Chain A
Amino acid sequence: MDYSKQIQDIAAKLFADGKIDVFVGYRMNGFDDNQVPVVITDPKEVSTLVFTEKSVFNLSNYLKADHTRNKRAGLVVKGCDSRSLNLLLTESQVKRDRLYIIGIACEGVVDDKGQKMQNCIECIVPDAVVYDEMLGNPQGRKDYIVNADIKALAEKGLVERREYFEEIFENCIRCNACRHSCPLCYCAKCCIDQETASLYNGSNTASSAFHALMTWSLHLAGRCVDCRNCEKACPSHLPLHLLHKQNEKVIFENFQNHLAGVEEGERGAFYKYSLKDPDDFIM
Protein backbone atom coordinates (compact mmCIF):
# COMPACT_ATOMS: atom_id res chain seq x y z
CA MET A 1 0.00 0.00 0.00
CA ASP A 2 1.91 3.04 -1.25
CA TYR A 3 -0.05 6.00 -2.60
CA SER A 4 2.66 8.63 -2.06
CA LYS A 5 3.01 9.58 -5.73
CA GLN A 6 -0.74 9.87 -6.36
CA ILE A 7 -1.23 12.02 -3.23
CA GLN A 8 1.65 14.31 -4.19
CA ASP A 9 0.15 14.81 -7.65
CA ILE A 10 -3.35 15.48 -6.32
CA ALA A 11 -2.09 17.92 -3.66
CA ALA A 12 0.09 19.76 -6.20
CA LYS A 13 -2.87 20.11 -8.55
CA LEU A 14 -5.16 21.35 -5.75
CA PHE A 15 -2.66 24.02 -4.76
CA ALA A 16 -2.08 24.99 -8.41
CA ASP A 17 -5.81 25.32 -9.04
CA GLY A 18 -6.18 27.41 -5.87
CA LYS A 19 -8.71 24.98 -4.43
CA ILE A 20 -7.08 24.57 -1.01
CA ASP A 21 -5.14 26.67 1.52
CA VAL A 22 -3.68 23.81 3.54
CA PHE A 23 -3.05 20.14 2.99
CA VAL A 24 -2.92 17.62 5.81
CA GLY A 25 -0.91 14.49 5.09
CA TYR A 26 2.06 12.49 6.28
CA ARG A 27 5.79 12.82 5.72
CA MET A 28 8.74 10.64 6.71
CA ASN A 29 10.29 11.54 10.05
CA GLY A 30 13.70 11.70 8.44
CA PHE A 31 15.61 8.91 10.17
CA ASP A 32 13.63 5.68 10.21
CA ASP A 33 10.53 4.36 8.47
CA ASN A 34 8.05 6.05 10.82
CA GLN A 35 5.96 9.00 9.74
CA VAL A 36 4.92 12.38 11.07
CA PRO A 37 1.62 14.08 10.21
CA VAL A 38 2.25 17.32 8.40
CA VAL A 39 0.15 20.43 7.75
CA ILE A 40 1.37 22.00 4.51
CA THR A 41 0.65 25.56 3.41
CA ASP A 42 3.53 25.90 0.97
CA PRO A 43 3.01 24.07 -2.37
CA LYS A 44 6.77 23.48 -2.53
CA GLU A 45 6.54 21.01 0.33
CA VAL A 46 4.12 18.77 -1.52
CA SER A 47 6.97 16.50 -2.63
CA THR A 48 7.52 15.41 1.00
CA LEU A 49 4.06 13.80 1.25
CA VAL A 50 3.86 10.03 1.63
CA PHE A 51 1.26 7.40 2.35
CA THR A 52 2.11 3.81 3.27
CA GLU A 53 1.00 1.27 5.86
CA LYS A 54 2.96 3.39 8.40
CA SER A 55 0.49 6.27 8.05
CA VAL A 56 -1.23 5.54 11.34
CA PHE A 57 -2.47 8.78 12.90
CA ASN A 58 -6.08 9.82 12.19
CA LEU A 59 -5.72 13.15 10.39
CA SER A 60 -9.31 14.30 10.89
CA ASN A 61 -8.04 15.37 14.33
CA TYR A 62 -6.33 18.34 12.64
CA LEU A 63 -9.56 19.76 11.28
CA LYS A 64 -10.37 21.21 14.69
CA ALA A 65 -7.01 23.03 14.91
CA ASP A 66 -6.49 26.74 14.32
CA HIS A 67 -4.62 26.37 11.01
CA THR A 68 -7.30 24.34 9.33
CA ARG A 69 -10.54 25.54 10.90
CA ASN A 70 -12.29 27.99 8.56
CA LYS A 71 -9.78 27.21 5.83
CA ARG A 72 -10.09 25.15 2.68
CA ALA A 73 -8.25 21.98 3.48
CA GLY A 74 -7.21 18.88 1.59
CA LEU A 75 -6.60 15.75 3.58
CA VAL A 76 -5.98 12.02 3.35
CA VAL A 77 -8.37 9.66 5.14
CA LYS A 78 -8.39 5.91 5.65
CA GLY A 79 -11.60 4.02 6.37
CA CYS A 80 -11.71 4.74 10.10
CA ASP A 81 -10.54 8.34 9.63
CA SER A 82 -13.35 8.97 7.17
CA ARG A 83 -15.90 7.69 9.70
CA SER A 84 -14.75 10.24 12.27
CA LEU A 85 -14.71 12.89 9.56
CA ASN A 86 -18.26 11.89 8.69
CA LEU A 87 -19.31 12.49 12.28
CA LEU A 88 -17.52 15.85 12.39
CA LEU A 89 -19.50 16.81 9.27
CA THR A 90 -22.80 15.62 10.74
CA GLU A 91 -22.10 17.42 13.99
CA SER A 92 -21.39 20.67 12.07
CA GLN A 93 -17.78 20.92 13.15
CA VAL A 94 -16.42 21.18 9.61
CA LYS A 95 -17.99 22.24 6.34
CA ARG A 96 -17.98 19.73 3.50
CA ASP A 97 -17.52 22.35 0.77
CA ARG A 98 -14.28 23.54 2.38
CA LEU A 99 -12.74 20.08 2.22
CA TYR A 100 -11.11 18.09 -0.51
CA ILE A 101 -10.95 14.53 0.76
CA ILE A 102 -8.63 11.88 -0.64
CA GLY A 103 -10.12 8.57 0.47
CA ILE A 104 -7.98 5.46 0.75
CA ALA A 105 -9.16 1.89 0.29
CA CYS A 106 -7.08 0.90 3.29
CA GLU A 107 -5.40 -2.47 3.61
CA GLY A 108 -4.56 -1.89 7.26
CA VAL A 109 -1.76 0.00 8.99
CA VAL A 110 1.04 -1.34 11.19
CA ASP A 111 2.31 -0.35 14.64
CA ASP A 112 5.86 0.58 15.67
CA LYS A 113 6.91 -3.07 15.67
CA GLY A 114 5.61 -3.68 12.15
CA GLN A 115 2.62 -5.76 13.33
CA LYS A 116 -0.73 -5.11 11.71
CA MET A 117 -2.83 -3.15 14.21
CA GLN A 118 -5.56 -5.09 15.98
CA ASN A 119 -8.27 -2.63 14.91
CA CYS A 120 -7.22 -3.12 11.28
CA ILE A 121 -7.59 -6.90 11.57
CA GLU A 122 -11.12 -6.37 12.89
CA CYS A 123 -11.88 -3.42 10.59
CA ILE A 124 -15.42 -3.31 9.26
CA VAL A 125 -15.09 -0.30 6.98
CA PRO A 126 -11.68 -0.40 5.28
CA ASP A 127 -12.70 1.93 2.43
CA ALA A 128 -13.19 5.63 3.01
CA VAL A 129 -16.91 6.40 3.24
CA VAL A 130 -16.69 10.09 2.41
CA TYR A 131 -14.29 11.27 -0.29
CA ASP A 132 -13.80 13.33 -3.42
CA GLU A 133 -11.33 10.93 -4.88
CA MET A 134 -10.61 7.31 -3.99
CA LEU A 135 -7.22 5.61 -4.18
CA GLY A 136 -6.85 1.83 -4.24
CA ASN A 137 -9.29 -0.98 -4.86
CA PRO A 138 -12.40 -0.79 -2.66
CA GLN A 139 -12.83 -3.94 -0.59
CA GLY A 140 -16.42 -3.37 0.51
CA ARG A 141 -17.84 -3.47 3.98
CA LYS A 142 -17.07 -6.39 6.27
CA ASP A 143 -19.18 -8.00 8.98
CA TYR A 144 -19.11 -6.67 12.50
CA ILE A 145 -17.22 -8.99 14.85
CA VAL A 146 -16.98 -8.60 18.58
CA ASN A 147 -13.46 -7.65 19.66
CA ALA A 148 -11.44 -10.58 21.04
CA ASP A 149 -10.41 -8.64 24.18
CA ILE A 150 -14.05 -7.84 24.94
CA LYS A 151 -15.00 -11.49 24.54
CA ALA A 152 -12.20 -12.53 26.90
CA LEU A 153 -13.24 -9.89 29.39
CA ALA A 154 -16.89 -10.94 29.28
CA GLU A 155 -15.88 -14.45 30.34
CA LYS A 156 -14.25 -13.14 33.49
CA GLY A 157 -16.21 -12.69 36.69
CA LEU A 158 -17.49 -9.34 37.87
CA VAL A 159 -14.83 -8.99 40.57
CA GLU A 160 -12.01 -9.88 38.21
CA ARG A 161 -13.25 -7.41 35.63
CA ARG A 162 -13.52 -4.69 38.22
CA GLU A 163 -9.98 -5.36 39.40
CA TYR A 164 -8.71 -5.21 35.83
CA PHE A 165 -10.34 -1.85 35.22
CA GLU A 166 -9.14 -0.55 38.55
CA GLU A 167 -5.61 -1.33 37.39
CA ILE A 168 -6.21 0.77 34.30
CA PHE A 169 -7.49 3.69 36.37
CA GLU A 170 -4.61 3.42 38.83
CA ASN A 171 -2.06 3.61 36.05
CA CYS A 172 -3.68 6.62 34.40
CA ILE A 173 -1.54 9.72 34.93
CA ARG A 174 -4.33 12.13 33.91
CA CYS A 175 -2.42 13.86 31.15
CA ASN A 176 -5.61 13.87 29.03
CA ALA A 177 -3.61 12.95 25.93
CA CYS A 178 -6.35 10.47 24.97
CA ARG A 179 -8.88 13.26 24.81
CA HIS A 180 -6.68 15.69 22.91
CA SER A 181 -5.69 13.14 20.30
CA CYS A 182 -9.30 12.05 19.77
CA PRO A 183 -10.71 13.56 16.57
CA LEU A 184 -14.22 13.57 18.04
CA CYS A 185 -13.35 15.48 21.22
CA TYR A 186 -13.79 19.07 20.11
CA CYS A 187 -15.59 20.80 22.98
CA ALA A 188 -14.20 24.29 23.57
CA LYS A 189 -14.31 23.56 27.28
CA CYS A 190 -14.33 19.90 28.22
CA CYS A 191 -16.40 18.87 31.23
CA ILE A 192 -13.40 17.19 32.81
CA ASP A 193 -11.59 20.53 32.84
CA GLN A 194 -14.31 22.36 34.76
CA GLU A 195 -12.84 23.87 37.90
CA THR A 196 -16.12 23.54 39.74
CA ALA A 197 -16.68 19.85 39.01
CA SER A 198 -14.95 18.22 41.93
CA LEU A 199 -15.17 14.69 40.55
CA TYR A 200 -12.65 15.47 37.84
CA ASN A 201 -10.19 17.20 40.10
CA GLY A 202 -7.15 16.69 37.90
CA SER A 203 -5.38 14.49 40.42
CA ASN A 204 -4.22 11.08 39.29
CA THR A 205 -6.09 9.29 42.04
CA ALA A 206 -7.99 6.23 40.83
CA SER A 207 -11.36 7.87 41.51
CA SER A 208 -10.53 10.95 39.48
CA ALA A 209 -9.18 8.83 36.62
CA PHE A 210 -12.29 6.65 36.79
CA HIS A 211 -14.63 9.60 36.47
CA ALA A 212 -12.62 11.26 33.73
CA LEU A 213 -12.15 8.15 31.59
CA MET A 214 -15.72 6.91 32.06
CA THR A 215 -17.21 10.29 31.19
CA TRP A 216 -14.95 10.51 28.18
CA SER A 217 -15.85 7.03 26.95
CA LEU A 218 -19.58 7.62 27.45
CA HIS A 219 -19.39 10.82 25.45
CA LEU A 220 -17.87 8.72 22.70
CA ALA A 221 -20.34 5.87 22.97
CA GLY A 222 -21.93 5.35 19.58
CA ARG A 223 -19.39 7.78 18.09
CA CYS A 224 -16.01 6.13 18.56
CA VAL A 225 -14.69 4.85 15.23
CA ASP A 226 -11.85 2.74 16.66
CA CYS A 227 -8.98 4.66 15.06
CA ARG A 228 -6.92 4.18 18.27
CA ASN A 229 -5.42 7.66 18.29
CA CYS A 230 -6.01 7.61 22.06
CA GLU A 231 -4.03 4.44 22.60
CA LYS A 232 -1.19 5.73 20.47
CA ALA A 233 -1.08 8.88 22.60
CA CYS A 234 -1.35 7.19 26.01
CA PRO A 235 2.06 7.37 27.72
CA SER A 236 1.04 4.56 30.10
CA HIS A 237 0.02 2.25 27.21
CA LEU A 238 -3.43 1.71 28.75
CA PRO A 239 -5.80 -0.51 26.73
CA LEU A 240 -8.32 2.30 26.28
CA HIS A 241 -10.01 0.54 23.39
CA LEU A 242 -11.69 -1.77 25.92
CA LEU A 243 -13.91 1.07 27.11
CA HIS A 244 -14.90 2.01 23.57
CA LYS A 245 -15.27 -1.47 22.16
CA GLN A 246 -17.55 -2.48 25.01
CA ASN A 247 -19.75 0.56 24.32
CA GLU A 248 -19.68 -0.24 20.62
CA LYS A 249 -20.88 -3.79 21.28
CA VAL A 250 -23.73 -2.68 23.54
CA ILE A 251 -24.83 -0.07 21.02
CA PHE A 252 -24.57 -2.45 18.07
CA GLU A 253 -26.75 -4.99 19.84
CA ASN A 254 -29.34 -2.54 21.20
CA PHE A 255 -29.58 0.22 18.61
CA GLN A 256 -30.37 -1.65 15.38
CA ASN A 257 -26.79 -2.57 14.46
CA HIS A 258 -25.60 1.01 14.73
CA LEU A 259 -22.01 1.64 13.71
CA ALA A 260 -20.62 5.13 14.11
CA GLY A 261 -20.13 7.26 11.02
CA VAL A 262 -20.48 4.60 8.33
CA GLU A 263 -23.28 6.41 6.47
CA GLU A 264 -22.97 9.98 5.27
CA GLY A 265 -25.17 12.26 7.33
CA GLU A 266 -26.02 9.60 9.90
CA ARG A 267 -26.03 10.84 13.48
CA GLY A 268 -24.51 9.13 16.51
CA ALA A 269 -26.64 6.51 18.27
CA PHE A 270 -27.65 8.89 21.04
CA TYR A 271 -28.40 11.78 18.69
CA LYS A 272 -31.26 10.18 16.81
CA TYR A 273 -34.56 8.73 17.91
CA SER A 274 -36.14 5.52 16.73
CA LEU A 275 -39.21 3.69 17.96
CA LYS A 276 -37.09 0.56 18.06
CA ASP A 277 -34.70 2.02 20.64
CA PRO A 278 -34.65 0.05 23.89
CA ASP A 279 -36.86 1.60 26.55
CA ASP A 280 -37.19 -1.14 29.14
CA PHE A 281 -35.00 0.86 31.53
CA ILE A 282 -37.70 3.54 31.74
CA MET A 283 -39.97 2.92 34.70
Chain B
Amino acid sequence: MTDTTGTSVEVRLPSRLGFEKVAMATAASVARLKGFSDERIEDLKTAVAEACINAIEHGNHLNENLSVGIILSTSADELEVKVLDNGSGISKQPPKPDIDRKVHGEEDPRGMGMFLIQALVDEAEWVHDSKGKGSYVRLVIRLDKENA
Protein backbone atom coordinates (compact mmCIF):
# COMPACT_ATOMS: atom_id res chain seq x y z
CA MET B 1 0.00 0.00 0.00
CA THR B 2 1.28 3.48 -0.89
CA ASP B 3 1.25 6.17 1.80
CA THR B 4 -1.28 8.67 0.44
CA THR B 5 -1.86 10.60 3.68
CA GLY B 6 -2.18 14.31 3.07
CA THR B 7 -2.29 14.03 -0.69
CA SER B 8 -4.78 15.62 -3.04
CA VAL B 9 -5.78 14.67 -6.59
CA GLU B 10 -7.86 16.91 -8.84
CA VAL B 11 -9.75 16.09 -12.04
CA ARG B 12 -11.90 18.28 -14.25
CA LEU B 13 -14.63 16.70 -16.37
CA PRO B 14 -16.65 18.13 -19.24
CA SER B 15 -20.36 18.35 -18.41
CA ARG B 16 -21.21 15.38 -20.59
CA LEU B 17 -22.85 12.22 -19.30
CA GLY B 18 -20.49 9.28 -19.38
CA PHE B 19 -17.47 11.23 -18.15
CA GLU B 20 -18.45 10.35 -14.58
CA LYS B 21 -16.57 7.12 -15.30
CA VAL B 22 -13.30 9.07 -15.28
CA ALA B 23 -14.09 10.26 -11.75
CA MET B 24 -15.10 6.73 -10.72
CA ALA B 25 -11.81 5.29 -11.98
CA THR B 26 -9.77 8.03 -10.31
CA ALA B 27 -11.57 7.65 -6.98
CA ALA B 28 -11.14 3.88 -7.15
CA SER B 29 -7.41 4.23 -7.79
CA VAL B 30 -6.91 6.57 -4.83
CA ALA B 31 -9.06 4.39 -2.56
CA ARG B 32 -7.08 1.31 -3.59
CA LEU B 33 -3.81 3.07 -2.77
CA LYS B 34 -5.32 4.04 0.59
CA GLY B 35 -6.09 0.38 1.36
CA PHE B 36 -9.89 0.30 1.15
CA SER B 37 -11.53 -3.04 0.46
CA ASP B 38 -13.04 -3.88 -2.93
CA GLU B 39 -16.53 -3.64 -1.43
CA ARG B 40 -15.96 -0.10 -0.13
CA ILE B 41 -14.36 0.91 -3.42
CA GLU B 42 -17.48 -0.23 -5.30
CA ASP B 43 -19.62 1.80 -2.88
CA LEU B 44 -17.44 4.85 -3.46
CA LYS B 45 -17.51 4.44 -7.26
CA THR B 46 -21.31 4.44 -7.32
CA ALA B 47 -21.54 7.43 -4.94
CA VAL B 48 -19.00 9.42 -6.98
CA ALA B 49 -20.79 8.53 -10.23
CA GLU B 50 -24.13 9.73 -8.89
CA ALA B 51 -22.60 12.94 -7.53
CA CYS B 52 -21.00 13.65 -10.92
CA ILE B 53 -24.23 12.88 -12.81
CA ASN B 54 -26.12 15.31 -10.55
CA ALA B 55 -23.43 17.95 -11.14
CA ILE B 56 -23.48 17.44 -14.92
CA GLU B 57 -27.27 17.33 -15.26
CA HIS B 58 -28.64 19.55 -12.51
CA GLY B 59 -25.66 21.74 -11.58
CA ASN B 60 -24.25 22.53 -15.02
CA HIS B 61 -27.36 21.64 -17.06
CA LEU B 62 -25.27 19.61 -19.54
CA ASN B 63 -23.47 22.79 -20.65
CA GLU B 64 -20.19 21.46 -22.00
CA ASN B 65 -18.60 24.89 -21.61
CA LEU B 66 -18.75 24.27 -17.87
CA SER B 67 -16.69 21.66 -16.11
CA VAL B 68 -17.26 19.50 -13.07
CA GLY B 69 -14.40 19.50 -10.58
CA ILE B 70 -13.41 16.48 -8.53
CA ILE B 71 -11.03 16.89 -5.59
CA LEU B 72 -9.92 13.77 -3.74
CA SER B 73 -8.10 14.36 -0.45
CA THR B 74 -6.74 11.84 2.00
CA SER B 75 -6.00 11.99 5.69
CA ALA B 76 -4.81 9.28 8.04
CA ASP B 77 -8.09 7.38 8.15
CA GLU B 78 -10.39 8.78 5.49
CA LEU B 79 -10.83 9.69 1.86
CA GLU B 80 -12.82 12.83 1.05
CA VAL B 81 -14.24 13.54 -2.40
CA LYS B 82 -15.64 16.93 -3.38
CA VAL B 83 -17.66 17.21 -6.60
CA LEU B 84 -18.05 20.84 -7.66
CA ASP B 85 -20.36 22.43 -10.20
CA ASN B 86 -21.64 25.88 -11.17
CA GLY B 87 -25.19 25.34 -9.95
CA SER B 88 -26.96 26.82 -6.97
CA GLY B 89 -27.11 23.53 -5.07
CA ILE B 90 -30.16 21.87 -3.60
CA SER B 91 -32.68 23.77 -1.53
CA LYS B 92 -33.88 20.71 0.37
CA GLN B 93 -33.26 16.99 0.48
CA PRO B 94 -35.66 14.98 -1.67
CA PRO B 95 -37.82 12.43 0.17
CA LYS B 96 -36.53 8.90 0.52
CA PRO B 97 -37.53 6.89 -2.58
CA ASP B 98 -40.51 4.59 -2.10
CA ILE B 99 -40.32 1.53 -4.35
CA ASP B 100 -44.02 0.70 -3.92
CA ARG B 101 -45.05 4.17 -5.06
CA LYS B 102 -42.61 4.01 -7.96
CA VAL B 103 -43.78 0.61 -9.20
CA HIS B 104 -47.41 1.70 -8.93
CA GLY B 105 -46.77 4.88 -10.92
CA GLU B 106 -47.36 7.23 -7.99
CA GLU B 107 -43.76 8.50 -7.90
CA ASP B 108 -41.17 9.22 -10.62
CA PRO B 109 -39.08 6.07 -11.17
CA ARG B 110 -36.00 8.30 -11.23
CA GLY B 111 -34.59 10.13 -8.23
CA MET B 112 -32.44 7.45 -6.61
CA GLY B 113 -29.11 9.29 -6.91
CA MET B 114 -28.98 11.23 -3.66
CA PHE B 115 -30.42 8.31 -1.73
CA LEU B 116 -27.67 6.03 -3.05
CA ILE B 117 -24.96 8.56 -2.23
CA GLN B 118 -26.14 8.84 1.36
CA ALA B 119 -26.54 5.09 1.73
CA LEU B 120 -23.12 4.18 0.34
CA VAL B 121 -20.69 6.59 2.00
CA ASP B 122 -20.02 7.39 5.65
CA GLU B 123 -20.72 11.09 5.29
CA ALA B 124 -22.39 13.19 2.57
CA GLU B 125 -23.17 16.88 2.62
CA TRP B 126 -24.36 19.31 -0.03
CA VAL B 127 -22.78 22.74 0.26
CA HIS B 128 -23.80 25.95 -1.48
CA ASP B 129 -21.03 28.48 -2.05
CA SER B 130 -22.20 31.62 -0.24
CA LYS B 131 -20.43 33.78 -2.84
CA GLY B 132 -22.71 32.39 -5.54
CA LYS B 133 -19.90 30.69 -7.40
CA GLY B 134 -21.39 27.23 -7.43
CA SER B 135 -21.89 24.37 -5.05
CA TYR B 136 -20.39 21.05 -4.17
CA VAL B 137 -21.16 17.73 -2.60
CA ARG B 138 -18.67 16.35 -0.10
CA LEU B 139 -18.38 12.61 0.38
CA VAL B 140 -16.28 10.81 2.97
CA ILE B 141 -15.40 7.15 3.44
CA ARG B 142 -13.47 6.06 6.49
CA LEU B 143 -10.99 3.26 6.98
CA ASP B 144 -12.32 2.48 10.47
CA LYS B 145 -15.60 1.35 8.86
CA GLU B 146 -13.65 -1.39 7.13
CA ASN B 147 -13.66 -3.50 10.28
CA ALA B 148 -17.13 -2.50 11.47
Partners in one complex: no
